[in-house]
Amino acid sequence: MKQHYLVILVLVFGAIGIANGQISGTVTDDQGVPLVGASVVKKGTSVGTTTDFDGKFIIDAILGDRLMVSFIGYEPLEVLVNSTIMNITLVSGLELSEVIITGSRNPNRVATESTVPVDVIDVKELASVGPQVNLNQILNYVAPSFTSNTQTISDGTDHID
């Protein structure tokens, strides 16, 4: 009788071990280069991981599960887990159809030879600015990217950072 219990326990724990298996593998591109940071997710769950610096991953899954593998710039791929070690190859294919660049600087106002952003503001333009009361408001009106903090000092003067 004890032998039957022992056999049953071995079978039950063996089945549990298989059910909670881990799948490991590598994700590469079509030229064999490992993809660092590729996403590997068990389909229909929140169980997932990312690949390491060698493109390798380990995920809790069993044979028959489906994995969703994706990486920026590559077509996402759904693979069936048919082995405990998976080698997955992603194909490059996502391309940007359009790029829109919005600029807000007038080329006549910017000193492009400088390593830091410099706005060139005409003094006549400053004189024509109407309702602004202080230098802080004038600079903010003429160069909208200008930001500052005004601190009032004890003697009534303002300090602009």
Q: Could you report the per-residue pLDDT of 114-161, keeping only the tens digit for each?
A: 666 666 677 776 666 666 667 777 777 777 667 777 677 766 666 666
Amino acid (one-letter) located at 112: T
Residues 9, 41 share a domain: yes
Residues 60, 14 share a domain: yes
Give φ, ψ of 93 to 5 degrees. -175, -15
Residues 123, 73 share a domain: no
Residues 37, 82 share a domain: yes
CA distances from 43 to 36, 60, 80, 139 (A): 21, 12, 10, 55
Mean pLDDT, the chain, integer: 77
Structure-block tokens of residue 128: 């024509």
Asked whether the beta carbons of 143 and 119 are under 8 A apart, the reply is yes
Residues 120, 44 share a domain: no
Spatial separation of the C-alpha atoms in residues 125 and 129, rounded to whole Å: 7
Residues 23, 82 share a domain: yes
Looking up residue 65, the CATH number of its domain turns out to be 2.60.40.1120
* Mean pLDDT for the stretch of residues 96-103: 62
Structure-block tokens of residue 156: 């009534």
Find tokens 């590559």 and name the residue: 74
Residues 139, 82 share a domain: no
> What is the residue-wise DSSP string for 103-118?
----GGGB-TTSSS--
Domain hosting 40: range is 2-90
Total domains in the chain come to: 2
Residues 81, 119 share a domain: no
The answer to whether residue 64 sits within a structural domain is yes
pTM over 0.75: no
Spatial separation of the C-alpha atoms in residues 74 and 46, rounded to whole Å: 21
Question: Please, which pLDDT band fits residue 72 given cuts at 50, 70 and 90?
Answer: confident
